[in-house]
Amino acid sequence: MPQHENITTAKEGTLFSERQWGLAVKTRAQTEKENLAAAKINEGSIWEKELAQSYEGDQWILSNTQKGEQKGGLWFVKRKLYIPAILRAKILHRFHNNQSAGHMGITKTTKTVAKHCWWPGMRKDIKTYVTQCDDCAMNKSRGGKPTGLLQPVAEPTRPWECVAMDFVGELPVSKGHRYIWTVLDLFSKQAHFIALAKLPSAEKLANLYINHIYKLHGCPSRVVSDRGVQFTAKFWGKFLEMLGAERSMSSAFHPMTNGAVERTQQTLGQFLRIYSNKRQNDWSKWLAFAELAFNSTIHSATNKSPFEVIYGHEIQPLPQLPKWPENGETGAGKWKAQMQECWDQVTASLKEAHKKYKTFADRKRMEGDKLEKGDLVWLSTKNIKLGLPSKKLSPKFIGPFRIQEIINEVTFQLQLPKSLGKIHPVFHRSLLKKYMGTLDKVDT
């Protein structure tokens, strides 16, 4: 009998043996590879033809013929291919936007192009092209320090003129309470800590303010808060308007605006962690002690305790120790003069403290590009949910959006599309990046 080659039997449901199928796949892959190589050769010949035609009438070649050398219809300068003006944008797109180029930065793109090509002002053109690339702007993080120098939130001149507030919680239940409402005077640094069973509505918050703050300190001229639903409610706005107080809320996704209260809450948290029991269900009984301790301690910004600034003398949390006797004028006149002198000293101390805070904070920040009304900017997606499957593969910035209003040097209101939902349109400078592209206007 004739000898046949040992071929593995084909599997059920197939027409070919494994070896025959392998040869077929190999042949197909080889064909695709050859077709791709042919396409590249064809593309290369078309590009060379287009390049050769573009040399005709090029101003640099007409004026600098002696600096270049022509070979095969192409011009070379110092053994590098000269790119005429008409094709420079196309070559930059190939070396920057192409998948094999990878949207690299200015330095890497420059080095890659410089290996093969040359034209006058090449580095400047590459820098401009990469800077104006929208894909890079949207998908690359901004390096360096955060933008936006420190700005004062308020500059009060008397106690309880400017008030800041926030909530702490949710905490373990303590006598029916789960939250702490912190209210801070930005002048004297006096604080009140009020235990709450739940987060209040705007109407309830107004009643709490009257019963706990207003009856003791009167009407403020300004109230600083974050963007909690209680503080953004229309009722709360109407209530403050009735009191004659200005509502000042933090910009979107920038809690540092209310930093004084945040720092006060850190101190409160330290106190409660130390004195609360292991079950953490007795913290509410310690709030009065925490408030007394906080308000009787000298504050670093004023160099005085809040009680001294408010009342003109210290409140003794413990039995008073003997003091050195002082002789001199007594009575209401002296007390008034002392209080005015104390407030003047506090005002000066607050200004000096802010200068120190600003100097220290600005070391880790930079001013950034100047932004004006009508400019286009990119908005960071750090705190925005885009509805994409992966946050890591999502764009770093979206936009560009137009600046509608400048609130202050570091706070800007943007003209956002309705597709972004109910995002508050006011943002801090650190979340914005100036648009460097070629768009003159965007659809609104």
> What span, in angstroms and rounded, lies between the C-alpha atoms of 291 and 194?
10
Strand order in the sheet with 376-380: 426-428, 411-415, 397-408, 376-380, 432-434
* pLDDT tens for the 444 residues of the chain, in order: 444 444 444 444 444 455 544 544 555 556 555 554 444 434 456 677 888 788 887 788 888 878 878 887 888 888 888 888 888 888 899 889 888 888 888 999 999 999 888 889 999 999 999 988 888 888 888 777 777 766 666 778 888 888 888 888 789 999 999 999 999 988 888 899 999 999 888 888 888 888 898 888 888 888 887 767 777 777 677 888 777 777 776 655 555 566 778 888 888 888 888 888 888 888 988 999 888 888 888 888 878 888 888 887 777 766 666 666 665 555 555 666 777 777 777 777 777 777 776 677 667 777 778 888 888 998 988 878 888 888 778 888 888 999 988 887 888 889 888 888 778 888 888 888 888 888 764 444
> What span, in angstroms and rounded, lies between the C-alpha atoms of 299 and 234?
35
The per-residue pLDDT for 253 is 54
Domain boundaries, the chain: 37-139, 162-294, 375-434
Determine the topology of domain 37-139 in CATH: Endonuclease III; domain 1 (1.10.340)
For residue 93, give the DSSP letter. Answer: H
Task: Give SS3 for 419.
Answer: helix
Among 428, 377, 432, 425, which residue's Cα sits nearest to residue 255? 428
In DSSP notation, 120-165 reads TTHHHHHHHHHHT-HHHHHHSPPPSSPB-----S---SSTTSEEEE
The verdict on whether omega for the bond into residue 12 sits within 30 degrees of 0, i.e. cis, is no
Note whether 293 and 267 are within 8 A (CB): no
The angle that helices 122-131 and 88-96 make with each other, rounded to 10 degrees, is 60
Encoded tokens for 82:
């000269």
Specify the CATH architecture of the domain 162-294: 2-Layer Sandwich (3.30)
The verdict on whether omega for the bond into residue 400 sits within 30 degrees of 0, i.e. cis, is yes
